[in-house]
Amino acid sequence: MSKLPRIAVENLNKEFRIYKRPQDRLVELISRKPKHTLFKVLTDISFAVAEGKSFGIIGNNGAGKSTLLKLLVGTLQPTSGTIATRGQVAALLELGAGFHPDFTGRRNIFLNAALLGVSDENIVEMENSIIEFSGLGDFIDRPVKTYSSGMYVRLAFSIATMVQPDILVIDEALSVGDMAFQKKCVQRMNQFRADEKTMVFCSHSMFHIQELCDTAIWIHEGYIREIGDSHKVVADYEDFCNSSKSYNNIREDLPGEVESREQSAPETEVQDCRINSVSVQTLDGQDVTEVIPLSTLVLNMEVEVLVNNMEGHFGFAFMRSAEEPIATFLTTNFEGINHGPFQKGEILSITLEVEKFAIRIGEFYVLGGMADKSGLLWYESKFSKLLSIATNKGVGAMIMKSAWTVEQN
C-alpha cells in the first residue's frame, strides 16, 4: 500500500482585502457595506509531495510563491481549499521571522525550538551544535536586532535543520550569507535528502532547483503554469523568461557589474581556488574577438588551487547577460574527467572544445566557473571579454550544420 503524501494541497485559493484608507476597515464593520477590493494571489492550486521527496517552487516576483510557503507552514490561512501536512514542519522564510529582536541569539534558539515542539531537555542537547553550525561565536549572546541579514539566516537555518523536522520549508536560504556558510547549507540539505526527509524549496536559482528538487511547480500570476519533473519545468520557465526579454538587451558594462558585485560580497574565511583567466581561442591558438558561426571554439580557464585536497567540477557557459545563459557545459554530466583531489599551489588548465558554434547573430560572454564536488555550490566564476558574431547571411538566432541533397529522377 502506498504511503500518504507528506503534503497535500487541494483547490487552494488566497485573497487579500485591500482598503484605500485604514479607517475603512472600521467603517465596513459598522456599516456592513464593503469598503475593500479583493486581490487574488493564488487561484486553484493543487499538488502533493511524497515522503522523502524534494519539491521546488519557481516563478517571477509577485507570482505568489512566498504566499504559498506561508500557507504551507500555517502563518497565513487560505481563503478556500485545504492544506494537509503529516509530521513536524520547520520553516526558513523571511529574515527575522520567529525571532524576538530584543532577545539574544541563544534565547531565540530556545524560543524557536520550543515553537517547533522540541522539549527543553533536547534543546539543551542541541544548543552547542546549533551555535557551532551557525558560526556566530560571541554574537550568539548579543540581541538579534544587531545581526546582519547573513547572521539572521545562519541562526535560522541552523535551528530549522538541527531539530530534524519531517518537512523543511526554505525560501531562498542560499541567496544570503558568505560562500563558506552556503557550502554548509548545501551539505545539510543533501544530508536531509539522504535521510529521506521532505523538503520544499523556493528559489530564483534554477540550477539549485534542478539539482536539489525531484519535482517543481511554476507559479505564474497566481496560477499553476506547469508542474512535473524539475528539469522539464525549469527548462520551460527559462525559455519563457528568455523569450520575454528584448533580443538585443545586451548590457555593455556587464563585466563591470559583475566585478562590483563580487567586490561587495562578503569574503569567505577560506577561498578554495582562484580563476586567473578565461579566454576563447581558435583551434590554432589565436584569441577570438569575432566569432564565425559553425566554427570550433576552444574555451580555456586557468584555476589556481589555494587549499589542499580540493575536489570539484568545472563549467563554462555562453551568456547573453549575467542573468541569461544561452548554453552551459558542466563536468558533472561526464565521467572520466579529473575532479581531484588537487593540492595547494597547483595551476589547473581546463580546456573545452565546442564544435560547430551555432549562434548566428548578436554578442555574448563566456563564463568560466569552478564548483564544489557536489556540483551545487560555485567557488568562483569569471567572465571573458565581450565577443561578437561575424555578420553572415540568414534569418534567425541559430545556424546549424546541414547537407542538401537534390535528386532528379
Which of 156-160, 169-173, 213-217 has the largest mean confidence?
A: 213-217
pLDDT beyond 50 at 248: no
pLDDT tens digit string along 75-105?
A: 899 999 999 999 888 888 765 567 888 899 9
pLDDT score of 299: 95
pLDDT score of 264: 34
pLDDT score of 295: 93
Q: Give kind and range of the element (H or E) at residue 15.
A: strand 7-19
Sheet order of strands, 347-354 included: 273-281, 297-305, 347-354
pLDDT band at 255, cuts 50/70/90? very low
pLDDT band at 263, cuts 50/70/90? very low
Between residues 253 and 90, the one the model is more confident about: 90
Grid cell, residue 9, equals 494541497
Grid cell, residue 234, equals 525549469
pLDDT beyond 90 at 349: yes
Grid cell, residue 143, equals 540581541
pLDDT score of 47: 95
For the chain, percent of residues with pLDDT exceeding 90? 33
The residues that bridge with 370 in the sheet, in sequence order, are 314, 380
User: CA nearest 324: which of 392, 223, 249, 378?
Assistant: 249
21 torsion bin: left (phi>0), alpha (psi -120 to 50), beta (else) = beta
pLDDT score of 9: 95
What are the angstrom distances between the C-alpha of 255 and each of 93, 150, 327, 358, 364? Answer: 32, 26, 19, 24, 11
pLDDT tens digit string along 370-399?
A: 888 777 777 788 889 889 998 888 788 888
Which CATH number describes the domain made up of 256-389?
A: 2.70.50.60
pLDDT score of 269: 45
Helix axes 120-134, 149-162, angle to 10 degrees: 140
Would you call 166 exposed, middle or buried from its count of C-beta atoms within 10 A (0-12, 13-18, 19+)?
middle
Between residues 179 and 269, the one the model is more confident about: 179
The domain spans of the chain are 7-243, 256-389
pLDDT beyond 70 at 354: yes
Cα–Cα distance, 322 to 230 (Å, whole number): 22
Q: For residue 70, give every residue at least 6 positions away whose Cβ sits within 8 Å of its Cβ, in sequence order, or none.
A: 76, 93
DSSP letter for 361, please: S
Grid cell, residue 370, equals 569552478
pLDDT score of 42: 94
Q: Give kind and range of the element (H or E) at residue 321.
A: strand 313-321
pLDDT score of 175: 62
Q: Match 475603512 to its residue by C-alpha cell.
A: 24
Cα–Cα distance, 304 to 244 (Å, whole number): 39
Q: What is the mean pLDDT of residues 8-33?
A: 87
Q: Could you report how far apart the first and last alpha carbons of the chain are, in Å?
A: 64
Domains 7-243 and 256-389 share a fold: no
pLDDT beyond 80 at 335: no
Q: For residue 148, give every residue at least 6 positions away whose Cβ sits within 8 Å of its Cβ, in sequence order, or none.
A: none
Cα–Cα distance, 368 to 329 (Å, whole number): 10
What amino acid is encoded at 37 in this protein?
A: T
- The predicted model scores a pTM of 0.71
For residues 113 and 57, the answer to whether their CB atoms sit within 8 Å is no
Classified as helix, coil or strand, 198 is strand
Cα–Cα distance, 100 to 106 (Å, whole number): 11
Between residues 62 and 48, the one the model is more confident about: 48
User: CA nearest 170: which of 85, 6, 54?
Assistant: 54
What are the angstrom distances between the C-alpha of 55 and each of 140, 189, 198, 210, 374? Answer: 32, 13, 8, 10, 19
CA atoms within a 13 Å half-sphere pointing along the CA-CB vector of 153:
19
pLDDT beyond 80 at 300: yes
Cα–Cα distance, 168 to 155 (Å, whole number): 15
**Topology of the domain comprising 7-243:** Rossmann fold (3.40.50)
For residues 42 and 68, the answer to whether their CB atoms sit within 8 Å is yes
pLDDT score of 71: 92
User: CA nearest 358: which of 400, 316, 402, 299?
Assistant: 400
Q: How many CB atoms neighbour CB 331 within 10 A?
A: 19
Grid cell, residue 323, equals 542573468
Q: Match 486553484 to its residue by C-alpha cell.
A: 44
pLDDT score of 94: 62
For residues 367 and 324, the answer to whether their CB atoms sit within 8 Å is no
Grid cell, residue 294, equals 559553425
Q: Match 530564483 to its residue by C-alpha cell.
A: 204
Q: Give kind and range of the element (H or E) at residue 114.
A: helix 105-115
